[in-house]
Chains A and B, each alone.
Chain A
Amino acid sequence: MVEDRSLGGRLFGIVNFALLTIVALVTILPFIHVLAGSFTTSAEMAAKKFVLFPTDWSWDAYRFIFSTNTIFRAMAVSVGVTVCGTLFSMLITSLMAYGLSRKDLDGRRTLMFLVVFTMLFNGGLIPTFLVVSELGLIDTYAALVLPLTINAFNMIILKNFFQNIPEGLEESAKIDGCTDFGILFRIVLPLSMPAVATLSLFYAVTYWNTYLNAIIYLNDSKMWPIQVLLRQIVVLASGFDHSSDLDGVVPPPDQAVKMAVILVATLPILLVYPFLQKHFAKGALLGSIKG
């Protein structure tokens, strides 16, 4: 790639870099606050309000949350559901998105409208619960995956990416004897790696954040994913729910524990993105194949 070495180009680069540094610093602050908060005591948190570097170092919060196997078990559930769910969702979503991206498909507009319609209207918690229950999914992990199989938003985005692939490629593949499945898996998906990576991330985050479905569909708390634990601690510790503090029988959990749980429950999913980032360069392939 040829670098732009003109004065204007360089100035642009410097200003851009400086602005992004400021943005990054501002956005990282809450995270540092949480990180530092997890290593200190609630007393120091109260005194300093916004801790960026703890003076009163303490591992207590981590010792506390790792002293039972609950967090490990919940983490294992979350990882399992996230990995399976993401793979499953991406498969079904790509199939549907590809089918709907083909302009010669009859009924395509109607189908797309039906999909968009579900983004706006939904029947609510109880009818969905009844469907899940009729399918016999209550108390199975499938109840955390199947109801979320396709996110309409993600499907529409993926379809849009697929549409931007030059039709000529597909045509020539078809002439070479590729089936539609072949075209999707051998040409379209590899060419859409940035989109596939992005939407996999979106799905992974959705599955990772599964909370309400777990509580509604799973009666056995041993099956609950990490978010239930996280949310329970954050809500209790933040003291926003004042209906429960009738007389202080249950003092809120330690602030440091809250921070530690946030960190432990968020770190795995945070690590997904840097790992996916390398796929963002792969779109360049498009140019080379075409050329």
Chain B
Amino acid sequence: MEEAIVRPAAALKTGSERSRRIRRNKWLYLMIAPGLIYFLVFKYIPMYGLIISFQDYKPFRGITGSEWVGLEHFRRLFSEPDFLNILSNTLILFSLNILIYFPIPIILALMLNEVRISFFKRFFQTLIYLPHFMSWVIIVSIGYVMLTMDGGIINELLSWMGFEKINFLLSSAWFRPTYIIQVIWREAGWGTIIYLAAIASVDTQLYEAARMDGAGRLRQIWHITLPAIRSVIIVLLILKIGDVLELGFEHVYLLLNSMNRDVAEIIDTYVYTAGLRQMKFSYSAAIGFFKSLVGLILVVIANRLAKKFGEEGVY
């Protein structure tokens, strides 16, 4: 990194140095080449499809034959009466994801790492990653069975304890808790895997040295394990921030109903429920473009911040 900053100043002299370095690294470029070709062919060539956000695209006419409308779709999006509400719903769910969900796999991974008996460690790991393989349809229908007012376990429990039954499924107030609990339920265990891999790479000698110094387990976690996985945490955080407007369409859609729409309608579900998914390609592409742009801006900011704190960042 230092090099990169110094380079412009010494541009003249480094010209030949640079080409020498490039020549020396020719094998590295060769290694990158297949991946690069993949990105070019399957990611960058199709990007011309972004153009349709600025057109009145008709699939049967193709991009070349469709009419240009400029920023019309964006204008429509921003003047949508519910736009602000939908955007803020989306951002709130996103914040819940970052603030509540994101730390949980880290904590779980640290807890798992502290299990000393290797059989149990593996046993727990295997159990908690199972829900990830259940589709949202299953998770949500299990949620329904537990929360319904007509004999749902939780409501039966509440009324047995003498409380009023709560209409979890149809209440605006309960939508967000339900959402985030289900996200945690399904994804937290799966999310630990990557941290466990990072923890596995920690030099065990460090722990022994710390123990010699009389450090307790919490202090070992704080001073050795966490710093060791910090860079992974930061990379994941930045990438997660880039996903700002991708909150799992299917999940939210399944929880969404007429009684909680005021808090549950997010950008993705709006595209679907407003019937934009089919045949209104341009408008939904424009919405997608907007989402990507927001994601890009946030990633650039987050990456910059990370670099400021001496981290590597994602690029």
Instruction: Report A-B touching, CB under 8 Å.
Output: yes
Interface residues of A (CB under 8 A from B): 1-4, 6, 8-9, 12-13, 16-17, 19-21, 23-24, 26-31, 33-34, 49-50, 92-93, 95-96, 98-100, 102-106, 109, 111-124, 126-128, 130-131, 135, 146-147, 149-150, 153, 155-157, 160-161, 163-164, 179-181, 184, 192, 194-195, 197-198, 201, 231, 234-235, 238, 240, 262, 266, 269-270, 273-274, 277, 280-284, 286-287, 290-291
CA distance A139 to B238 in the complex (A): 37
Contact B49 A126 (CB under 8 A): yes
B9: chain A residues at CB < 8 Å are none
CA distance A19 to B111 in the complex (A): 9
Least Cβ–Cβ distance between B299 and chain A, in angstroms: 6
A103: chain B residues at CB < 8 Å are 1, 3
Total number of B residues with any Cβ neighbor in A under 8 Å:
95
Stretch at the interface among B29-37, B80-88, B265-273: B29-37
Q: Across the interface, name the chain B residue whose C-beta is closest to A94.
A: B31
Least Cβ–Cβ distance between A127 and chain B, in angstroms: 4
Contact A27 B198 (CB under 8 A): no
CA distance A126 to B66 in the complex (A): 15
CA distance A178 to B94 in the complex (A): 47
Contact A119 B242 (CB under 8 A): yes
B299: chain A residues at CB < 8 Å are 116, 120
Tell yes or no: B216 within 8 A of A by CB: yes
CA distance A93 to B315 in the complex (A): 16
B129: contacting residue among A106, A111, A149, A273, CB under 8 A: A273
B184-219 contact mask (Cβ, 8 Å, vs A): 1 or 0: 010001000110111011111101100100001110
Tell yes or no: B231 within 8 A of A by CB: yes
Contact A124 B235 (CB under 8 A): no
B79: chain A residues at CB < 8 Å are none
Tell yes or no: B296 within 8 A of A by CB: yes
A50: contacting residue among B25, B153, B288, CB under 8 A: B153
Tell yes or no: B135 within 8 A of A by CB: yes
A122: contacting residue among B27, B46, B108, CB under 8 A: B46
Contact A280 B200 (CB under 8 A): yes
B151: chain A residues at CB < 8 Å are 49
CA distance A111 to B29 in the complex (A): 11
Contact A2 B208 (CB under 8 A): yes
CA distance A64 to B193 in the complex (A): 36
CA distance A96 to B33 in the complex (A): 7
Contact B29 A99 (CB under 8 A): yes
Tell yes or no: B130 within 8 A of A by CB: yes
Number of A-B contacts (CB under 8 A): 266
B155: chain A residues at CB < 8 Å are none
Least Cβ–Cβ distance between B181 and chain A, in angstroms: 10
Contact B197 A198 (CB under 8 A): yes
Among A19, A121, A163, A283, the most chain B Cβ lie within 10 Å of the Cβ of A121
Least Cβ–Cβ distance between B244 and chain A, in angstroms: 10
Least Cβ–Cβ distance between B280 and chain A, in angstroms: 13
B27: contacting residue among A31, A179, A231, CB under 8 A: A179
Given contacts A20-B112, A123-B50, A150-B35, contact A128 B194 (CB under 8 A): no
B185: chain A residues at CB < 8 Å are 26-27
A34: chain B residues at CB < 8 Å are 134, 138
Contact B216 A8 (CB under 8 A): yes
Least Cβ–Cβ distance between B41 and chain A, in angstroms: 6
CA distance A4 to B115 in the complex (A): 12
CA distance A131 to B180 in the complex (A): 38
A164: chain B residues at CB < 8 Å are 201, 231
Q: Across the interface, name the chain B residue whose C-beta is closest to A209.
A: B133
Contact B122 A118 (CB under 8 A): no
B111: contacting residue among A20, A29, A157, A270, CB under 8 A: A20
B138: contacting residue among A30, A118, A161, A180, CB under 8 A: A30
Given contacts A50-B153, A104-B25, A262-B138, contact A131 B41 (CB under 8 A): yes
Tell yes or no: B21 within 8 A of A by CB: yes
CA distance A271 to B289 in the complex (A): 39
B194: chain A residues at CB < 8 Å are 157, 198
B76-115 contact mask (Cβ, 8 Å, vs A): 1 or 0: 0000000000000000000000000000000010011011
Least Cβ–Cβ distance between B190 and chain A, in angstroms: 9
Least Cβ–Cβ distance between B145 and chain A, in angstroms: 5
Contact B254 A23 (CB under 8 A): no
CA distance A130 to B127 in the complex (A): 42
B146: chain A residues at CB < 8 Å are 50
A274: contacting residue among B44, B49, B126, CB under 8 A: B126
Contact A124 B49 (CB under 8 A): yes
